[in-house]
Structures are given as C-alpha cells and as structure tokens.
Structure 1
Amino acid sequence: MKTYEVAVAAIVSDWLLLCTQRGPSQYDYIAHKFQFPGGTIESDEMGSEALKRALEKDLNLSLEITEDHHMMTVEHQYPDFKVILHVYKIEAENVADHLIDHIDHVWADSGMIYFLEWADADFKVMNKIIDEGLIDWQV
C-alpha cells in the first residue's frame, strides 16, 4: 500500500484558522473535504521546503517557513493509502484569499471548525491542535 509524506500548514491569522477545501478526487472519502493546505514531500526536500513550494503554487503565498515551525506529525491509514502529515504552525498577517488548487476556503474560528467536513487525517490534526492547546482558538 502506498504511503505519502505530506507537509501541511496550520495557518493562523487574527485568531482564525485557514481551512481549504479539496476538489474532486478518485477517492470519495477525501473528495470535497476540508484540509490543511500543503503538499507532498519530494525525496530531496525537507518538510519546510515542500510546504513553502506547495503554498506558493497552490495559494500564491510566499511565507518564511523553517523546521522550527514543525509542531507535530500525524499518521492516518485510509482504505487505499497511508498518509503521514507533518504539520507546521504558521502565523501570518494579511494572507490573501487566492486559491489555485482548492475549490473553497474558510477562515474558521473555534465555533466553526467542527461544522466543516474534514478529511479524516486532517480532522485528527485539528483535534490534536485543540486538545494540546497548541493554538488558542478563542476569538
């Protein structure tokens, strides 16, 4: 079974979390679900490099990202593949709403994030972030 290593960003701005929505997928269980923005880590990349590349490509965001931003790693087994998410916490101001590879986005507060339909692996990340108090979600 295929394993994907992915670097994703928990982007916070003005106490809100950027949540991006996937488009269609060959796998129904992740199609149109909300997720943290990011991309697959190539064999010659650090996670921070992969994330910087993915955010520039998918959201037209140029952010300073280092390995110091890494906050957790979460593994999830889907029916057809395994994903390992390397999560980076990024605090950003004046983030433009420019979607290239997603169909929608939401800047969610603590009351809204549980109403979004998350991909299972990303739901695990969201819960872990909140449970461990790594980000203050109070608006």
Structure 2
Amino acid sequence: MKHLEVVAGIIEFGGKILCLQKNVGKYDYISYKFEFPGGKVEPGESHCQALMRELNEELAMDIKIREQDFYMTVDHSYPDFEITLHSFLCRVNDCTFTLKEHKSFIWLKKMDLLRVEWAAADLPIVKKLMDDIV
C-alpha cells in the first residue's frame, strides 16, 4: 500500500484555529472533509521546510516553522493509502491568506472543532487540541 509522509499546520489566530474544507477528490471518503493545511514532504525537505512551502503554495502564507513548534504525529491507514502526518502549531499575528486549493474555510475555537466533519487522519489532532484547552 502506498505510504505518504505529510505535514500539517495548526494555524491559530485570536484564539481560533483555521479549518480548511477539501474539494472533491479522487477518494470519496476524504472529499469535502475538513483538514489542517499542509501536504506531502518532498525528498530532501525537512518537515518544517515542507510545511512552510505547502502553506505558501496553498494559502500564500509566509510562516516561519521551527522544530519546537511540533505538536504531534499521527499514523493513519485509509482504504487506499497510509499516511504519517506530522503537525505543527503555527500562531500567527495576521490572519490574511488566499484560498487556492480548498473549497472553503472556517475559524473555530478549540472547543468547537467537532462542529465540522474532519478527515480521519486529522481527528486525533483535533481531539488532542480539545483536550489541551486550559
């Protein structure tokens, strides 16, 4: 089975998290689901480099990602492929971005994250974020 190494940014602004809705895709089980922005790690890239590149490509956001921003890793098997998803906390001072690949977006407080339907691989991150509410 195909295995993908991917990264995701948990973008936080003003106490809310950016949630992006996928467009229709190759697989029905992830089409239109919500996810954290990010994507595949290219050969020779660090996780931080990959996430900075992906955030720029998907959202035109220029965010500096550091290793200490690491949040958690999720291993998930979908019916047609497996992923290892490395997530990073990205607190931003400016919430402007350009939606380039996704259908829609919503900013949600951590306690409200389950108001939308998440891609299965992102759910453990969502649940940990909700558990971490202070």
Q: What range is the shorter-chain TM-score in?
A: over 0.9
Aligned to 1:129: 129
Task: State the distance in 1 between where 2:70 and 2:52 align.
Answer: 13
Tell me how many residue pairs correspond in the alignment. 134
Read off the aligned partner of 1:31 and give its amino acid letter: S
Aligned to 1:66: 66
Give a deviation string over 1:83-129, Cα, whole Å, max 9, x none: 11100001112221410011100001134311101000111211122
Runs of 4+ in 1 over 4 A off after TM superposition: none
TM-score by length of 2: 0.95
Change (3 A) 1:79 1:29: same
Aligned to 2:35: 35
Read off the aligned partner of 1:53 and give its amino acid letter: R
TM-score by length of 1: 0.91
1:115 aligns with 2:78: no
Gaps of 5+ in 1: none
1:17 Cα deviation (Å)?
0.4
Given that residues 61 and 95 in structure 1 are in contact (C-alpha distance below 8 angstroms), is that contact kept between their aligned partners in structure 2? no
Q: CA RMSD in A?
A: 1.2
Task: State the distance in 2 between where 1:46 and 1:109 align.
Answer: 29
Aligned to 1:12: 12
Q: 1:87-126 counterparts in 2 under 5 A?
A: 87-126=87-126
Aligned to 1:52: 52
Gaps of 5+ in 2: none
Given that residues 61 and 97 in structure 2 are in contact (C-alpha distance below 8 angstroms), is that contact kept between their aligned partners in structure 1? no
Task: State the distance in 2 between where 1:43 and 1:128 align.
Answer: 29
